[in-house]
Amino acid sequence: MAQPVRREIRFILNGETVTLPDVKPDELLLDFLRLRRSLRGSKEGCAEGDCGACTVLVGRLTGGELVYESVNACIRFLGSLDGCHVVTVEHLRGENGGLHPVQQALVDFHGSQCGFCTPGFVMSLYVLWMREPSPSDARIEKALQGNLCRCTGYESIMRAARAISSYGEAGRDLLAKERTDIAARLAALKDGARVEIGSGKNRLIVPASVDDFAEIYAAEPAATVVAGSTDVGLSVTKQMRDISPVIFIGGLEELQTITEHQDGIRIGAGVSYTQARDFLAARVPALGALVDRIGGEQVRNMGTIGGNIANGSPIGDTPPPLIALGASVTLRHGNVRRCIPLEDFFIAYGKQDRAPGEFVESVHVPLPAPDAHFAVHKISKRRDEDITAALGAFNVQVREGRVAAARIAYGGMAATPKRARAVEQALIGQPWTEETIVAAQAAYATDYTPLTDMRATAEYRLLAAKNLLLRFYLETTSAAKPFRVKRYEEA
């Protein structure tokens, strides 16, 4: 049966249903809002998903439920919004038509100075308040990891954030009231069609299903595949790269399943960091804590674990722990699948074991053995929303005082995420003591020759990487003593 094709994208913008037959493959949501709709409340501060001045909400039906998430409009492609509800700051208002509770709290607590970042803060706090009307400071800070303010020092914004619920009830909010209506309207937009707009060098495709995607990509292996756009978005805003033809797979729910099996968990390639977070945290707390330090909330809502693997970056945060856990990745070309160890997927800088037209479909992750010590330690210049300088993942089993098994992998230390095989060998069979750790630290020079760049020098990377092994060891010896700085006790 031929796949029905639609030649326009359809979504809801604030209250209005928008139908667009003229969407460029690299057209960004922020440009659409500001230039084509003159909705200029959302600002461009960085055009790379870091500062959050462009934050808007995107509502989508997932598993039949309408979920709103904050996103960076500056790197979110317009074509990826088919079937979504886009909510901008212009949509907010209070019950009496005045300011919304989030807005009024920010005004009353002096939460804006120059005001340029403020609409973004409003949107981030808005989505937090909808979900958690009385958040802890830790939760507020997490919700604001993707919003930079250069004026206030944040304290006044925190005061406002704590007070929002005294200004209004989330249940009486506009989006809550409209919820049934919007959900119905979004459901009505879902027609099961593939979207194809444009032709030749100016073409975008939104596949109708994973099978549809597999077929399209096999036929057009030169196409750019975009899931969360947290990486490709920058190649457009910064390098002005031509990404056509582009395939937007962010809406494919089939790729967004995360499931537990006897031998581990299976993460669909389209699962966002946010979707994975609680699931992972419940099973492997160290992974939950790691996810909280990837990007800001907006990036976590868009970025996917599959994308973090597929782009092959040596400083992606998820591959080292997944490698340490012995994960394997399923690649698919058309209807042909193959499964390889994740560590083998990364061949060299910029080179992965992925054939043209082949895509990462899922990753299978064995859980740590019950007696294993598992930890992930990320080092960056700034604790939150920063790119890794060095990240170590440790999966060590100690039996009768000796190291029975060890899988250790690092990011930021080589041209790919890489196992510390010499270190592992120096540990295996040895007593689990500080002497062993000190001896094993000498093996790092065999495993890694890191680079110096703007994030860290080679010297620091190597030293810190070694010391992370010691920290890992020390934490297995005593749970009570602090061996790392913490802002809050991890939830």
Partner 1 sequence: MGNHPVQDLKATRIKGGVHAPERHDSAHKHVSGTAIYIDDMPEPAGTLHAGLGLAGVAHGIIKSMDLSAVRSAPGVVAVLTAKDIPGTNDISPSGMNDDPILADGKVEFHGQPIFCVIAETRAQARRAARLAKVEYEELPGVFDIRDLDFDSHPQVFPPLTLKRGEATEAIAQAPRRVKGRMLLGGQDHFYLEGQVSMAVPGEDDEVTVYCSTQGPSETQHMVAHALGIASHAVTVEVRRMGGGFGGKETQANQWAVLAAIAAKKLGRPVKIRLDRDEDMAATGKRHDFAIDYEVGFDEEGRILGVDYIFALRAGFSADLSGPVGDRALFHCDNAYFFPHVHAKSALLKTNTVSNTAFRGFGGPQGMVGAERVIEEVAFAVGKDPLEIRKLNFYDPMGSDGGRNLTPYHQKVEDCIIQQIVAELEERADYAGRRREIAAFNANSRVIKRGIALTPVKFGISFTKTESNQAGALVHIYADGSVHMNHGGTEMGQGLHLKVAQVVAEELQIDLDRVRITATTTGKVPNTSPTAASSGADLNGMAAQDAARQIKKRLIDFAAEKYGVPKEQVVFLPNRVRVGNQEIPFNEIVRQAYVARVQLSAAGFYKTPKIHWDRSAGKGHAFYYFAYGAACSEVSVDTLTGEYVLERTDILHDVGRSLNPAIDQGQVEGGFIQGAGWLTTEELVWDEKGRLRTHAPSTYKIPLASDRPKIFNVALTDWSQAYEPTIHRSKAVGEPPLPLGISVLHALSDAVASVADHKICPRLDAPATPERVLMAIERLKAESGR
Q: Binders of partner 1 among 13-52, rule CB under 8 A? A: 31, 38, 40-48, 50-51
The residue among 161, 159, 64, 156 whose CA lies nearest residue 122 is 161
> Least CB distance from residue 354 to partner 1, whole Å?
25
Helix (H/G/I), strand (E/B), else coil: 376: strand
> Least CB distance from residue 486 to partner 1, whole Å?
7
Residues 363-382 that bind partner 1 (CB under 8 A): 377, 379, 381-382
Backbone region of residue 198 per phi and psi (left: phi > 0; alpha: psi in -120 to 50; beta: other values): left
Among 55, 152, 301, 397, binds partner 1 (CB under 8 A): 152
Distance CA 276, CA 282 (A): 10
> Least CB distance from residue 379 to partner 1, whole Å?
6
Among 99, 175, 210, 271, binds partner 1 (CB under 8 A): 99
- Toward partner 1, which CB reaches closer, 147 or 229? 147
Q: Decide if residue 455 touches partner 1 (CB under 8 A).
A: yes
The residue among 279, 271, 268, 289 whose CA lies nearest residue 364 is 268
The residue among 326, 333, 324, 335 whose CA lies nearest residue 353 is 333
- Toward partner 1, which CB reaches closer, 147 or 397? 147
The residue among 20, 47, 50, 18 whose CA lies nearest residue 31 is 47
Q: Decide if residue 237 touches partner 1 (CB under 8 A).
A: yes
Helix (H) or strand (E) holding 419: strand 418-419
Residues 468-487 that bind partner 1 (CB under 8 A): 468, 470-471, 474, 481-487
Q: Which stretch binds partner 1 (CB under 8 A): 57-65, 114-122, 336-344, 363-371?
A: 114-122
Among 3, 258, 386, 433, binds partner 1 (CB under 8 A): 386
Are 58 and 85 contacting, i.e. CB atoms less than 8 angstroms apart?
Answer: yes
Helix (H/G/I), strand (E/B), else coil: 194: strand
Are 403 and 396 contacting, i.e. CB atoms less than 8 angstroms apart?
Answer: yes
What x-and-dash track marks residues 435-454 binding partner 1 by CB under 8 A? Answer: ------------------xx
Count the helices and strands in the chain (H runs, E runs). 18, 21
> Least CB distance from residue 306 to partner 1, whole Å?
21
Q: Decide if residue 384 touches partner 1 (CB under 8 A).
A: yes
- Toward partner 1, which CB reaches closer, 109 or 345? 109
> Least CB distance from residue 46 to partner 1, whole Å?
4
- Contacts by residues 421-425 (CB-CB < 8 Å, ≥ 24 positions apart): 421/447, 422/446, 422/447, 423/447, 423/469
- Toward partner 1, which CB reaches closer, 40 or 177? 40
> Least CB distance from residue 370 to partner 1, whole Å?
27
Angle in degrees, 0-180, between the axes of helices 458-477 and 434-441, rounded to the nearest 10: 160
Cβ burial, residue 191 (10 Å; 0-12/13-18/19+): exposed
Q: Which stretch binds partner 1 (CB under 8 A): 104-112, 260-268, 321-329, 366-374?
A: 104-112
Helix (H/G/I), strand (E/B), else coil: 432: coil
Q: Decide if residue 289 touches partner 1 (CB under 8 A).
A: no
Among 112, 244, 298, 328, binds partner 1 (CB under 8 A): 112
Among 59, 83, 119, 135, binds partner 1 (CB under 8 A): 119
Distance CA 491, CA 432 (A): 28
The residues pairing with 268 across neighbouring beta strands, listed in sequence order, are 362
What x-and-dash track marks residues 59-98 binding partner 1 by CB under 8 A? Answer: -----------------------------xxx-x------
Distance CA 322, CA 343 (A): 9
Q: Decide if residue 313 touches partner 1 (CB under 8 A).
A: no
Q: Decide if residue 229 touches partner 1 (CB under 8 A).
A: no
The residue among 351, 348, 355, 312 whose CA lies nearest residue 332 is 355
Q: Decide if residue 55 touches partner 1 (CB under 8 A).
A: no
Q: Decide if residue 387 touches partner 1 (CB under 8 A).
A: yes
> Least CB distance from residue 116 to partner 1, whole Å?
3
Q: Decide if residue 308 touches partner 1 (CB under 8 A).
A: no
DSSP state of 473: H
Residue type at position 353: D
Distance CA 120, CA 56 (A): 7
Q: Which stretch binds partner 1 (CB under 8 A): 143-151, 163-171, 180-188, 361-369?
A: 143-151
> Least CB distance from residue 480 to partner 1, whole Å?
11
> Least CB distance from residue 433 to partner 1, whole Å?
16
Q: Decide if residue 331 touches partner 1 (CB under 8 A).
A: no
Q: Which residues of 351-373 are buried (b: 16+ CB within 10 A; e: fewer)?
A: ebebeebbbbbbbbbeebeeebb
Among 190, 337, 383, 399, binds partner 1 (CB under 8 A): 383
Q: Decide if residue 149 touches partner 1 (CB under 8 A).
A: yes
- Toward partner 1, which CB reaches closer, 265 or 387? 387
